[in-house]
Amino acid sequence: MIELALFFSVLIGIYAIMALALNLQYGYAGLLNFGLVAFFAIGAYASALLSLSGVPVLIAMAIAAVIAAIVGALIAIPTMKLSVHYWAIVTISIAELIRVISTNEEWLTGGTFGLGDIPQPLAALVPLESYPLFFAGFTLVLVAACYLLSSALVHSPYGRVLKVIREDEDFGQSLGKDVASFKLRTMVVGAAMVGLAGALYAHFTTYITPQAFEPIVTFIIWAAVILGGKGNLLGSLLGATVIVLLYNSTRFIGDYVELSAVTLANIRLALIGLLIMLTVLLRPNGILPERKQVF
């Protein structure tokens, strides 16, 4: 039971980091990043490959976040002038492209067989029986760090420029804000955080395949941010918790009703889709709506 609780707390932590990143991008800056899973995959593969080739895990994770950030910048630079709708379409395409690459380039990613035996951080120092607890604590530290970083970013002059991107880009421009460069920076920060989450995931499961990087990951994070409340960082933590638990609780339906694995998987997906629609309809600002900053 404790094992299960620790397992879920790590999973929630991984999604919480990604939800914080998306909240920066969508909740504050209004950027429709539908390709989040690409950075998740890049972080996971980069950290896995680096640590498998002998780089210490913690350093591998840091490098993975940097690589994800660089890819984020490379994607953002040519596409930043596109309107939000186009950007949504482009980012989802890029994510699919990256998934196809991860499936096909077997020499690098192991193809559909994936990568196994990925080392875990500080595995030699922590006793085996308390390792799950250690990993949960490690995750918590990373979530806290990402939360503090996000909070510092949004409660600052930088954060106000983010919001003006969401509100009206032309207005921001007319006040002398170089909107494109702020989008780029937000893309890079978010990509680094999602990359870190990917790295964490790889070292948590110790085994990754392209199936772990389907577009549904992106949509789960979207559901978490919308449900939790866009423009509210605590909302992202809450949203990630609710969605991860809900998504995984359907696994237990199988204990009571005779259902095939495929049916169960699709019930989970339908639930995510339904939740997105219902939130948009009934509680468009989420459970914890954005708070007004009062001076």
Partner 1 sequence: MAASPIIDVSGLSISFRGVKALQDVSFALNSGEIVGLIGPNGSGKTTALNCLSGFLKPDAGVIRFKGEDITGQSPAEVANRGLMRTFQVTKLARRMTLIENLLLAAQKADDESLFATIFGRGTFARRQPRLLERARELLETVKLSHLENDYAGVLSGGQQRLLSIALVLIRDPDVILLDEPAAGVHPDLVVEFIAMVNRIREERGKSFLIIEHNMHFISSVCDNVVVLDAGTNLASGPPNVIHNDPRVLEVYLGTPQDA
Partner 2 sequence: MLEQVLLNSVIRGSEIASLAIGVTILFSLLRFANFAHGEFALLGAYFTYFFVSVLEINLWIAAVLGAVLGGAVALSSDVALFSRLRSSPGIVLLIASLGLSIFLRAVVAGIWGVEGHNYSDELETIYRIGEAVITHTQVIIVIVSFTAMALFYLLLNHTQLGRAMRAMSDNMALAKARGINIEVTIRWIWFIVGSYAALGGTLIAMDTQLWPEMGVHIILVVFAATILGGIGNVYGAVIGSFLIAFLENASLAIDWAFLFAPFGVEGSVYIPTGYKFAVSFAVLIIVMLLFPKGIMKGSKGD
Backbone φ and ψ of 80, nearest 5° = -65, -25
4, exposed or middle or buried, with CB in 10 Å at 0-12, 13-18, 19+?
Answer: exposed
- The partner in contact with residue 293, picked from partner 2, partner 1, none with C-beta cut-offs of 5 to 8 angstroms by kind, is partner 1
The 217-256 contact track toward partner 2, x by CB under 8 A, reads --x--xx--x------------------------------
Residues 161-220 that bind partner 1 (CB under 8 A): 161, 163-164, 166-168, 170-179, 182, 185, 189
Q: Does 173 bind partner 2 (CB under 8 A)?
A: no
Among 273, 283, 291, 293, binds partner 2 (CB under 8 A): 273
- The partner in contact with residue 49, picked from partner 2, partner 1, none with C-beta cut-offs of 5 to 8 angstroms by kind, is none
Binding segment for partner 2 (CB under 8 A), chosen from 17-25, 131-139, 142-150, 273-281, is 273-281
**Sign of the alpha-carbon dihedral angle for 9, 10, 11, 16:** positive
261 or 294: CB nearest partner 1: 294
Residues 87-146 that bind partner 2 (CB under 8 A): 88-90, 92-94, 96-97, 100-101, 103-104
Question: How many Å apart are CA 55 and CA 60, to the nearest integer?
Answer: 6
Contact 187, 33 (CB under 8 A): yes
Q: Which residues contact partner 2 (rule: CB under 8 A)?
A: 30, 32, 34, 78-79, 81-86, 88-90, 92-94, 96-97, 100-101, 103-104, 215-216, 219, 222-223, 226, 262-263, 266-270, 272-277, 280-281, 284
Q: Which residues contact partner 1 (rule: CB under 8 A)?
A: 149, 152-153, 156-161, 163-164, 166-168, 170-179, 182, 185, 189, 290, 292-295
